[in-house]
Every structure is written in C-alpha cells, then in structure tokens.
C-alpha cells in the first residue's frame, strides 16, 4: 500500500498492545511488536509482525541499540510509536512503599520517556511521525486505592502535551490515548499488583475501591478489538478518523467520555464557587 506505516509498539504480549498490533497488521502496515519476553509474541510473528525484545526500563544505550536493530529491518523508518507497556499498582498512597512506587513509575512513566528518547531521533531525521503514549481515564481523577497508578497516567498526559508543542514544527504529532475500562486482562494478576503493606485504618475506602475493580475484571464495557481499531484509525488518519486532527488527549470508550466530562464539570463547579476568592489575589495596581 502506498501509505504503509511502520509501527513500533511496546508491551504487545497482551491487552491493548496485542490488539493494536493486530489491527495495524490488518491494515497492511509493518508492525514491530515488542515485549520483555518475545516468546509471548509468537502469534503476532505468525501474522507477519517483526518481533523484538524490548524492556522499557533498559538503559538508554541498550534502547538505542534496540532501535538501531529495528530500523535496520524497516528501511530506517519508524512512523508510529505506541508506548503501551504498563501495569496497575493497587494500594493506598500511604501503603505503597518507596520501592513499589519507583517500580510503577519506572515502567508506566519513565519507561515511556526512555523509549521516546530512543525513537525521536529517527522521527526528527525523517521529519515526521506519531508518538502515542498510553494514558488512562485514571489520569483524569484520583481513585482511592490506585493513586500512584493514576499519578503515573496523569504524568503521561502532561508530558505528551509538552512534547507535542516541542516537536510539532518537525511534523511529529504526539497524543496521550486514554482508554476507559476495556475487557482485557489488565485488572488481573500480573498486570495489577497489590501493595505489600496494608493499613487497617484505610480499609474502608481502599477495600471498597479494590472490590469495585475486582468485580469489574473481565466485565469491563469496552471491546478491545473495537478500541484498537479506533486507535489505529486515529494514529493513521484513515477509516473512521479520516479528516480528523489528532487531539493532544484522545479518550477511548463510553465510560471514559462520561468520567472525563464528569471530572471537568466538577472542577468547573468548584472554580466557579471559589472564583471571587481566586481572582482577588492580583496586585491592586
């Protein structure tokens, strides 16, 4: 196809990474599917994906070598980067240890930055590309029992907006994709880790939140196949998204739309309530 794209996707062993890879392959694009354990990508390889080992927490030098290996197989191009790798740290803000917090940010946030630093030189040289950082509806509000995960996803949104302003003149677009709850294994063991510490006085709020997530597991409203198709269309300006300008933050899912609108309405109401006090702090002159 004349507009064939080259994709680099992290965290392809399951969930949205896996579905996005399939959707891009179905469009006839070249897909470089990556995971810490590439043996988990055999089905994508069988469908034509280029499979590479990639750990988003690796050193800059290691990631630069990985990208060099990838571009040697893609005629030097990476058109679309999807920073998908991530997991949920479940636990109260006080309950999460220093090491647990470091670990979730190393993957969810610093991991995205690591891959961005490795890939952007390729996109700058080719004067074009799309960087898609996976955020979450959790980046719109702080949820009891998942505050550190929410914080990592809010960081993804802010960095995406800043980076987008820095590279727009080079023909590079940046978006934070913010899915709601989709029926993947993301809330299951291995993708959702619980803090080792438990504080009895916090149980009332945190257990209720964790119970809601447990009940939601495998009952989420979103269809990951449909979500992945929309993401691929949006990042390529094809199909359903032809003619649409990619926004800085792209919500995916009916629940995400409703939660984000509710969050904005709540913040707006509070700002209006406090408006007179907020705006009375300027110099008199």
Number of structural domains found in the chain: 1
Question: Is residue 57 domain-resident?
Answer: yes
> Which CATH number is 135's domain given?
3.40.50.720
Question: Is residue 165 domain-resident?
Answer: yes
* DSSP symbol at 131: E
- Domain housing 241: 6-278
> What's the rounded Cα separation, in Å, for the pair 153 and 146?
11
Quick: pLDDT tens for 211-263.
Answer: 777 776 767 777 899 999 999 999 999 999 999 999 999 999 999 999 999 99
pLDDT for the residue 285: 83
Quick: pLDDT tens for 145-171.
Answer: 999 999 999 999 999 999 999 999 999
Residue of 141, 149, 216, 257 marked active site: 149
Question: What burial class does residue 46 get, using C-beta atoms within 10 Å of its C-beta: 0-12 exposed, 13-18 middle, 19+ buried?
Answer: exposed
Question: Is residue 283 domain-resident?
Answer: no
Q: Quick one: average pLDDT of 3-25?
A: 95
Residues 6+ apart with CB under 8 A from 19: 184, 224, 225, 227, 228
Catalytic (active site) residue 141: no
């Amino acid at each position: 196809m004349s507009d064939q794209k080259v994709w680099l996707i992290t965290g392809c062993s399951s969930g949205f990474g896996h579905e996005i890879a399939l959707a891009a392959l179905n469009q006839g694009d070249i897909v470089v599917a990556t995971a810490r354990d590439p043996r988990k990508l055999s089905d994508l390889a069988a469908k034509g994906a280029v499979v590479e080992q990639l750990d988003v927490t690796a050193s800059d030098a290691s990631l630069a070598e990985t990208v060099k290996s990838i571009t040697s197989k893609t005629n030097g191009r990476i058109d679309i980067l999807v920073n998908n790798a991530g997991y949920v740290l479940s636990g109260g803000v006080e309950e999460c240890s220093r090491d647990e917090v470091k670990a979730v940010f190393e993957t969810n946030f610093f991991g995205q930055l690591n891959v961005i630093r490795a890939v952007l030189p390729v996109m700058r040289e080719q004067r074009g590309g799309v960087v898609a950082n996976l955020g979450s509806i959790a980046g719109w509000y702080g949820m009891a029992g998942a505050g550190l995960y929410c914080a990592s996803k809010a960081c993804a949104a802010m960095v995406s907006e800043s980076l987008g302003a820095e590279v727009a003149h080079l023909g590079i677009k940046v978006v934070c994709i913010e899915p709601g709850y989709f029926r993947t294994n993301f809330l299951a063991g291995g993708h959702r880790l619980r803090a080792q510490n438990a504080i009895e006085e916090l149980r009332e709020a945190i257990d209720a939140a964790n119970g809601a997530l447990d009940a939601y597991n495998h009952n989420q409203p979103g269809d990951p196949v449909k979500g992945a198709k929309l993401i691929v269309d949006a990042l390529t300006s094809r199909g359903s998204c032809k003619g649409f300008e990619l926004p800085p933050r792209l919500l995916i899912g009916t629940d995400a739309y409703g939660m984000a609108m509710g969050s904005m309405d709540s913040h707006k109401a509070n700002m209006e309530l406090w408006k007179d006090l907020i705006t009375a702090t300027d110099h008199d002159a």
